[in-house]
Amino acid sequence: MTQQSVPPTPNNFAVWFEYSLGNAPALRKIIDILIAGKRKFDAATNAELFITYIAPQQTGRDPLSDLPDQLSGLIDSAQQFLNTAVTDNQTHIKALGEVSSEAATGSDPRPIIAKLVDELSKATQRAAALEASFAATSEELDSIRDSLKAAEQRSNTDALTGLANRHSMDEFLRLAQIAAMEKDEALSVFLIDIDHFKKFNDDYGHQVGDQVLRLVAKVLQEGVREVDLAARYGGEELIAVLPGADLEACSAVAERVRRRISEAKLTRRATGKEIGSVTVSIGVAQFRLAESADAMIERCDRGLYKAKRLGRNRTVTELELEPEAGAA
């Protein structure tokens, strides 16, 4: 930790203690890669290592502590149902035992049969009531599950475009980087910026601007695979993360998306009048071993702005960028 200038915090100690033990091959491999790549162990990197490899192993928390009160109440109800079922079952067994004892005495069978029928009827009624209670609880649980799923989706989704939001993209990209290093696979990203977006807002209003964003988002979402992530990066910028794709494959996807956007027809909803074509500029970069997400996206950004300088409506990869000042 001292050699890598890692601050001596409890979380960092936990990461490096696990690394020294050698019980987590994936963690050891990632740290070795970061060291070999001379990656700085900054606050973000240290936090990612802890969240990914240490936090999931830590136990001792009450699993119900994060559940809504309503869900906890339903669990209590289910426990009560089970207790009631056990009690009813014990009562039923006791009653049947009494009937069995009477039958063994050789008494008149008619009252014994009547008691047996009565007890079976009571048991059936109790079972039906318990089943109805479970059915109602099950419906409520389904409703809660749907609500939680919808809430989670809203928290990870950009309301305007329907794409993943920036927070969701950051998490997806973080895990994709770790997977790429663990599996020694490619990972590429392309960044989209809508050309002359301000002009759409100024000439036609923000509603048309929103329509343009939704159009570009729709084409982007349709242009990537299910394993990829399309997200709104901010403002009129959209981003796509392509796990397993090298620079050439990612560039081909980006170019296909760019062409489809330029070929789309945009009409004003209020009048049905055609507004004109929408074009985008795109920058493409491939993940380099042990680099930060910001460094990769910065190359995308440079490619994007070179596309703007060259006349817009084009795709530029990192291979077309001029070497940075001071680079070897």
**CA 83 – CA 89 distance, rounded (Å):** 10
Can you name the residues that pair with 276 across neighbouring β-strands?
A: 266
Question: Measured in Å, how far apart are the chain's first and last C-alpha atoms?
Answer: 29
Contact call for residues 289 and 182 (beta carbons, < 8 A): no
Catalytic amino acids? 236
> What counts of helices (H) and strands (E) characterise the chain?
10, 7
Residues 6 or more apart from 317 whose CB is under 8 A from it?
247, 251, 283, 284, 285, 303
Going 48 to 54 to 55 to 57, the CA torsion angle's sign is positive
The strand pair at 274-276 and 280-286 is best described as: unpaired
Nearest to 288 by CA among 235, 251, 320, 246: 246
Q: For residues 167 and 164, what is the distance between their CA atoms, to the nearest angstrom?
A: 8
* Contact indicator for 297, 264 with CB cutoff of 8 Å: no
- Written as one letter, the residue type at 298 is E
User: Around Cβ 272, how many Cβ atoms within 10 Å?
Assistant: 7
Per DSSP, the three-state class of 194 is strand
Residue 245 sits at φ, ψ, to 5 deg, of -100, 130
